[in-house]
Amino acid sequence: MNAHAPQPAACDVEIRPERGQRAVFCGLTSIVWLHRKIQDAFFLVVGSRTCAHLIQSAAGVMIFAEPRFATAIIDERDLAGLADMNEELDRVVTRLIERRPEIRLLFLVGSCPSEVIKLDLSRAALRLSQRLAPEVRVLNYSGSGIETTFTQGEDACLAALVPGLPEATEADDDLLVVGALADIVEDQFARLFAELGIRARFLPARRAERMPSVGRGTRYLLAQPFLTDTARALEERGARRLAAPFPLGAEGTTGWLRAAAEAFGIDPARFDTVTAPGLRRARQALAPYREKLSGKRVFFFPDSQLEVPLARFLAREMAAELIEVGTPYLHRAHLAAEIEQLPGGTLVVDGQSLDDGLDRCRAARPDLTVCGLGLANPLEAEGLTTKWSIELLFTPIQGYEQAGDLAELFARPLDRRARLEV
Task: Quote the least distance from Cβ 378 to other proteins, whole Å.
Answer: 5
Measured distance CA(122)–CA(139) in Å, rounded = 7
Residue 117 in contact with other proteins, rule: CB under 8 A? yes
* Residue placing its CB nearer to other proteins in the complex, 46 or 162: 46
Task: Quote the least distance from Cβ 322 to other proteins, whole Å.
Answer: 24
Residue 83 in contact with other proteins, rule: CB under 8 A? no
Candidate segments 78-86, 195-203, 257-265, 306-314, binder of other proteins by CB under 8 A: 78-86
Residue 89 in contact with other proteins, rule: CB under 8 A? yes
Residue 132 in contact with other proteins, rule: CB under 8 A? no
Number of residues in contact with other proteins under rule CB under 8 A: 61
Binds other proteins by CB under 8 A, chosen from 374, 391, 394, 395: 374
CB of 358 closer than 8 Å to CB of 6: no
Write out the binding residues.
26, 51, 112
Residue 73 in contact with other proteins, rule: CB under 8 A? yes
Residue 120 in contact with other proteins, rule: CB under 8 A? no
CB neighbour class for 165 (10 Å; exposed up to 12, middle 13-18, buried from 19): buried
Residue 138 in contact with other proteins, rule: CB under 8 A? no
Measured distance CA(387)–CA(372) in Å, rounded = 8
Task: Quote the least distance from Cβ 233 to other proteins, whole Å.
Answer: 19
Measured distance CA(241)–CA(411) in Å, rounded = 34
| Residues in 94-113 that interact with other proteins by CB under 8 A | 95-96, 112-113
Query: Is residue 413 helix, strand or coil?
Result: helix
- 106: DSSP letter: E
For 168-310, strand residue ranges (E) read: 175-178, 200-203, 219-222, 240-241, 297-300
* Residue placing its CB nearer to other proteins in the complex, 356 or 415: 356
Measured distance CA(357)–CA(347) in Å, rounded = 12
* Residue placing its CB nearer to other proteins in the complex, 150 or 256: 150
Measured distance CA(333)–CA(339) in Å, rounded = 10
Binds other proteins by CB under 8 A, chosen from 18, 40, 88, 120: 88
Measured distance CA(334)–CA(26) in Å, rounded = 22
* Residue placing its CB nearer to other proteins in the complex, 108 or 175: 108
Residue 280 in contact with other proteins, rule: CB under 8 A? no
Residue 370 in contact with other proteins, rule: CB under 8 A? no
Per-residue burial over 34-67, b if 16 or more Cβ lie within 10 Å, else e, is bbbbbebbbbbbbbbebbbebbeebbeeeeeeeb
Binds other proteins by CB under 8 A, chosen from 10, 63, 243, 336: 63
Measured distance CA(51)–CA(144) in Å, rounded = 9
* Residue placing its CB nearer to other proteins in the complex, 148 or 188: 148
Residue 147 in contact with other proteins, rule: CB under 8 A? yes
Omega prior to 247 cis, within 30 of 0: no
Residue 32 in contact with other proteins, rule: CB under 8 A? no
Write out the binding residues for [4Fe-4S] cluster.
26, 51, 112
Closest CA to 349 of 367, 326, 333: 326
Measured distance CA(305)–CA(149) in Å, rounded = 9
Bridge-based pairing state of the strands 240-241 and 219-222: parallel
Give the contact letters, 316-355, x = binds to other proteins (CB under 8 A), - = no: ---------------------------------------x
Which stretches of the chain bind other proteins, using CB under 8 A? Answer: 21-29, 46, 48-50, 52-54, 56-58, 60-61, 63-64, 67, 69-76, 78-79, 85, 88-89, 91-92, 95-96, 112-113, 115-117, 144-147, 149, 355, 372-378, 380-381
